[in-house]
């Protein structure tokens, strides 16, 4: 759970990251940036700011803004009916982005969030530079982490069913709850 103030601050930080990455946003897009804390109530460490640009029955295009050292928790996109699961391509736009997939442990630049070692099982590190991209196959575990200046990436994928994504951390909840603050 996050507070309304935390949500607004994260949206403002995301807008600044998009601006720094030279990505123009419409007024409607600026107010529709989703702040995802994954139900962990630790947004600065595990979370993401997500702007959905396209969402159809076959295609999804999103912009992700990650604050400095913010991590998208380890997850995978499972099969749904006859569909093998979401295939996702992450394309680097700004900042440092460290991607982790299955393979030998080469974790060097990023770090597993403190106390969460059991929830981050894939540690093959791929550092994306400007213009580079990585495609994750359906069902492939992966996670992302921004460097010290934050990061902005495109996510191009087949149909997105975010509420059906599977997470290694059993405490993750895809729906962010926002608490209104009471007047002093």
The phi, psi pair for 43, rounded to 5°, reads -55, -40
**DSSP conformation class of 83:** B
d(CA 41, CA 46): 8
With CA atoms as reference, report the closest residue to 61 among 13, 37, 36, 29. 29
Q: Residue 182: its pLDDT value, please?
A: 64
Name residues whose C-beta falls within 8 Å of residue 46's C-beta, 6 or more positions apart in sequence: 37, 38, 40, 70, 71, 72, 73, 113, 116
d(CA 179, CA 164): 24
d(CA 119, CA 116): 5
pLDDT tens for the chain, 184 residues: list them. Answer: 899 999 999 999 999 999 999 999 999 999 999 999 999 999 999 999 999 999 999 999 999 999 999 999 999 999 988 888 899 999 999 999 999 999 999 999 999 999 999 999 999 999 999 899 999 999 999 999 999 999 999 999 998 888 889 999 999 998 888 888 765 5
Q: Residue 87: its pLDDT value, please?
A: 93
Q: Residue 179: its pLDDT value, please?
A: 86
**DSSP conformation class of 3:** E
Q: Residue 7: its pLDDT value, please?
A: 93
Structure pTM? Answer: 0.92
Q: What is the secondary structure of 100-147 as a DSSP string?
A: EESSS----SS-PPTT-GGG----EEEEE-TT-EEEEPTT--EEEEEE
* Tokens found for residue 48: 């993401």
Q: Do 166 and 78 touch, CB atoms closer than 8 A? A: yes
Domains, the chain, with CATH or none: 2-172 (2.60.120.10)
CB crowding 12-42: b at 16 or more within 10 Å, else e: ebbbebbeebebebeeebeeebbbbbbbbbe
Name residues whose C-beta falls within 8 Å of residue 24's C-beta, 6 or more positions apart in sequence: none
Q: Residue 162: its pLDDT value, please?
A: 81
d(CA 128, CA 93): 9
Radius of gyration of the chain (CA): 16
């Amino acid at each position: 759970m996050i507070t309304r103030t935390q949500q607004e601050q994260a949206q403002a930080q995301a807008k600044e990251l998009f601006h720094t990455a030279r990505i123009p946003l419409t007024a409607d897009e600026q107010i529709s940036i989703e702040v995802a804390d994954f139900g962990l109530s630790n947004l600065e460490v595990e979370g993401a700011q997500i702007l959905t640009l396209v969402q159809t029955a076959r295609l999804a295009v999103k912009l992700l803004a990650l604050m400095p050292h913010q991590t998208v928790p380890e997850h995978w996109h499972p099969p749904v009916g006859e569909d093998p699961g979401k295939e996702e391509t992450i394309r680097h736009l700004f900042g440092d982005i460290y991607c982790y997939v299955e393979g030998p442990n080469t974790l060097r630049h990023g770090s597993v969030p403190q106390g969460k070692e059991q929830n981050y099982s894939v540690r093959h590190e791929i550092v994306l530079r400007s213009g580079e991209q990585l495609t994750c196959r359906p069902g492939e575990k992966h996670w992302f982490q921004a460097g010290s200046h934050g990061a902005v990436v495109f996510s191009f994928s087949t149909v997105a069913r975010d509420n059906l994504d599977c997470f290694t951390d059993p405490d993750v909840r895809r729906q962010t709850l926002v608490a209104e603050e009471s007047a002093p």
